[in-house]
Amino acid sequence: MLTDTKCRTAKPTAKNYILSDSGGLYLLVTPKGGKYWRYKYRVAGKEGRHAIGIYPEVTLEEARDLHRDARKLVAAGKHPVEAKREVVVAQKVERSAKRPFAEVADEWLAGQMKLGKAHNTTRRYVYNVKVLSEAFGRVGIADVRKSHLTQVLLAFENQNNHETRRRIQVDALAIMEMAHDRSYVEVNTTPGAVSQPRPAVTDAVGFGRLLGDIDRMPTRTGTALRLLALTGLRPGELLQTEWKNIDWKRNRLIVPFANLKMRTKRKGGDADNRNLEVPLSRQALAELKVLFKTTGEGRYLFPALSTDSATPYMRGYRLHRALDRAEYQGIHCPHGFRSSFSTIMNQERVIIEGHEVPRWTDQKPLIELQLDHNDASVQAIYDRGGRWKERCELMQLWADRIDEMRGSRAKLHLVA
C-alpha cells in the first residue's frame, strides 16, 4: 500500500508508470511530473477507469475516501464515471431551475434573432417577451405555472385582442419548451394553460411541400425529421434511440418502456411495462442505413453535437429551430408528424363490392396503437395479439404515401 512519502517523492521517468495502492486505486505518474489518482474497475465484465483527482490537491487519505465511495457504486453495478456525470447534470439542472423566467426568455429571444426572420416577426418577439417578463419575469423558471400565463392571456382576451393573445401564447409555450429541452426544468407546466393542439400540416399538398423543405436542411437534422415522419415516434423517443434498439433482422425499432411518455400513468393489463415496437418500412431502413455510416459506431442514432451538452443525444429544440428557420413556426412542429400520420392514414379507403370502406378493420384503434396511445381500444388490440402484420402494412403504406406526396422530388423508396 502507498504512503504519502512514496507519493510525494515519486519522480517522473521517460514513460508513464503507476504506483498501486489497493482495490484498483493507483497513482499515475507522467513524464512531465503530473500525478493523477485513478481507479481501475470492472462492471458487467467490462473494464473502466475513473479519475479521482490530482495529487497533491487530493491527498492519499482523500483519494482513499473517494475510492471507497466509488467501489460501493461498482458493487451495485454502477459505473462511477456515469454516476459522477449524473451528479454534474443534476447540479446544473438545480442551478438552472433558479434562473428567472426573464433571463430564460431573453435567451430564447437571442436564438430567434439569429434565425434571420423578417423585421416584423422579430419585433413581435421582442414585444411578446417584454409583456411576459413584465408579468412574471422574476419568477424562477422552475416555478412558472400555467396560472402565470393564463393571467396574461386573459388580459388581452378581455380587450378583444385575440390575435396578440394567440401570438403571446405561442411564444410563451416556445420559451418553456426550450427550457424543458435544455433541462432547465424537469416538467413543462405551461401547456395545460390552454387547450391548443400542436401545429401540424395534415393535407397532402402541404405535407409534400414540407418534405421538400426538409430535404434542403442539414443532413442530420433532415434525417431526424424524415424519420419522425416515417415512424410516427415522439421526438424524444426517436432522439433517445440507441443503435442496439434497431432490430435489423426483424425490421423494427424498439423504444424501451423507460423512454415512453407518461409511464407512470399507464394502466391496463398487458400494456403495462411494455416496450413500443415500431415496424420499419423500406424507406425508414434506407434512412437508417445511411445514418449508420455516420453515427453507427456510437451509442445513439443522433448523438449530441457538442461534448458540453447536458445529454448525450441531440436535443429536440434543434428540430424545432430547423422548422422555425424554414418558416414553419406555428404551422408544423416535430411532434406534428404524428398528427399528419394520423389524419392522412385515417382517410385511407378501399372499394369492396362497390362500397368505400376503411382499409383496415378498426382502423382508428390500429393507428392509435401505432402512435402508442394507451386507451381502452388500444388495450383490446394488445389483448388480441397486437395485429403486428397489419401494423407493418400500415407503416409501409404510409411510407409509400410519403413518396407520393413528395411528387417529382427524389423518392425515398428509390434509395431503399
What is the CB neighbour count within 10 angstroms for residue 86?
Answer: 12
pLDDT tens per residue, range 115-146: 877 677 788 899 999 999 999 999 988 888 88
Q: Give the chain's mean pLDDT.
A: 85
Output the pLDDT for position 379: 53
159-187: average pLDDT: 83
Tell me the per-residue pLDDT of 92-121, one tens digit each, with 9 for 90 and over.
656 666 789 999 999 999 998 888 776 777
The mean per-residue pLDDT over the stretch 355-362 comes to: 89
Among the ranges given (79-88, 187-196, 356-365), the one the predictor scored with the smallest mean pLDDT: 187-196
- Contact status, residue 171 vs residue 129, Cβ threshold 8 Å: yes
CATH architecture assignment, domain 97-193: Orthogonal Bundle (1.10)
Mean pLDDT (whole number) for 243-258:
94
Q: What is the pTM of this model?
A: 0.54
Name the CATH architecture for the domain at 4-78: 2-Layer Sandwich (3.30)
> Looking at residue 48, what is its pLDDT?
86
**What is the structure's pLDDT at 213?**
94
Architecture of domain 204-415: Orthogonal Bundle (1.10)
Domain ranges of the chain: 4-78, 97-193, 204-415
* pLDDT greater at residue 76 or residue 41: 41
For residue 192, the model assigns a pLDDT of 53
